[in-house]
A and B are shown apart, each in its own frame.
Chain A
Amino acid sequence: MPIFMELFLTFAKIGLFTFGGGYAMLSMIENICVEQKKWITHDEMMNITVIAESTPGPIAINCATYVGYKKGKLSGAFFATLGVAIPSFIIIFSISMFLEGFLEIAWIAHAFRGIRIAVGILILDAAIKMMKKMKKKPLQIGTLLASFVGIMLINVLKLHISSIAVMLVAVLVSVVFFLVEKGHGKESKP
């Protein structure tokens, strides 16, 4: 089987069988690409995790592109990325055709009123987990609190400011601090 075909099928399998988003997928990718197929080493997997967390976009896409490129250059990257996305694309596309009609059924609407509450807790949990892993220095804590208050105000006051603007301000502040620290000749590694 040509490598790009194998990449496509392998990542389609990963895309089809991982529930719960990126982090669940990382362990599946580790299992298949490191242990079974030996496409990448364990160290590389660690490396990919760090890169995936530091670059934007779905973590699964970052991983698929990385492994695909390593095994099959550009076409490998393309087919691995396509593979990982195709199962969920087909499933969600099918669901989208009937979801709204589905929600008009009374007991399903009741179920979703309950589910809505659970989703709020899941989002909160994601933030708490990330907070536990974060470096707890004054600049980091200050940025977190300022962003939290900023987004709350934007939501409550219905201001038309995108969260991207808040992120750009945070980056700017951190870079300014970095340049000042560097200028003072203090440790230059943030």
Chain B
Amino acid sequence: MIYLDLLIGFLKVGLFSFGGAYAAIPLIRDVVLAHGWLDDEMLSYMIAVSESTPGPIMVNLATYVGSNKGGLLGAVVATTAVMLPAFLIILLIMVLARSLFENSFVQAILRGLKPCVIGVILATGVYMILGNCHVKTENRVDNTAIIMTCGFAAVYFGARKVSKKGLSPIGLICLAAVVGVAVYGI
């Protein structure tokens, strides 16, 4: 049943996404690919939409997948599921043990978890970039995409050297949209 799949899938995402929105992306990718709900292409579109609309990215993605697969009820189920673990864990910490994080055993768990999450995010980013630069249907390298990837990276990371604030994620997305229309449309 779709609602049960959404519930279990997004509970897992909510329970294991340590370190904010981008930590959830590999987990959401696992869930949506395993069920065939979205492909990599659609997922990256939705990440862009989530970055460009207000609110927590994880909630945005859960709402979209839920709504797409199960209408309003699906959206409510997926969104509630992704939020529930965070809500309950904070309540538990507030009620029971605010000093939980000083416990050395908990510290040992986090010591393993944090670098692992970074490795997982890094691998997801690299794999998505490699996927973008490869034309699956013809099994060849997409030179245009490679040039665009290098160009965007240079602009995005270079902007930080020029001004302290640099280019915002939404700024990069807008730039990429304009370049996309120019390169592929003309």
Bin the interface of chain B by size: 35 or more
Known: A107-B185, A117-B145. A127 touches B121 (CB 8 A): yes
Is A117 a contact partner of B152 (Cβ separation < 8 A)? Answer: yes
User: In the complex, which of the residues A18, A54, A118, A121 contacts B55, with contact meaning CB atoms closer than 8 Å?
Assistant: A18
Write out the residue numbers on chain B whose beta carbons fall within 8 Å of the beta carbon of A146. Answer: 119
Answer whether residue B4 sits at the interface, using C-beta atoms and an 8 A cutoff: no
Answer whether residue B30 sits at the interface, using C-beta atoms and an 8 A cutoff: yes
B-side interface mostly:
helix
A-side interface mostly:
helix
- What is the chain B residue whose CB lies nearest that of A48? B90
Complex CA gap A36/B145 in Å reads 47
Answer whether residue A1 sits at the interface, using C-beta atoms and an 8 A cutoff: no
Is B111 a contact partner of A140 (Cβ separation < 8 A)? Answer: yes
Is B181 a contact partner of A21 (Cβ separation < 8 A)? Answer: no
Complex CA gap A50/B19 in Å reads 10
Write out the residue numbers on chain B whose beta carbons fall within 8 Å of the beta carbon of A131. Answer: 118, 122
Residues of B within 8 A of A (CB): 12, 14-22, 24-27, 30, 34, 41, 44-45, 47-60, 63-64, 67-68, 72, 75, 79, 82-83, 85-87, 89-91, 93-94, 101, 104-105, 107-129, 132, 145, 148-149, 152-153, 156-157, 168-170, 172-173, 175-181, 183-185
Residues of A within 8 A of B (CB): 15-23, 25, 50-51, 53-62, 65-66, 69-70, 74, 77, 81, 84-85, 87-89, 91-93, 95-97, 99, 103, 106-107, 110-128, 130-131, 134, 139-141, 143-152, 155-156, 160, 162-164, 166-167, 170-175, 177-178, 188-190
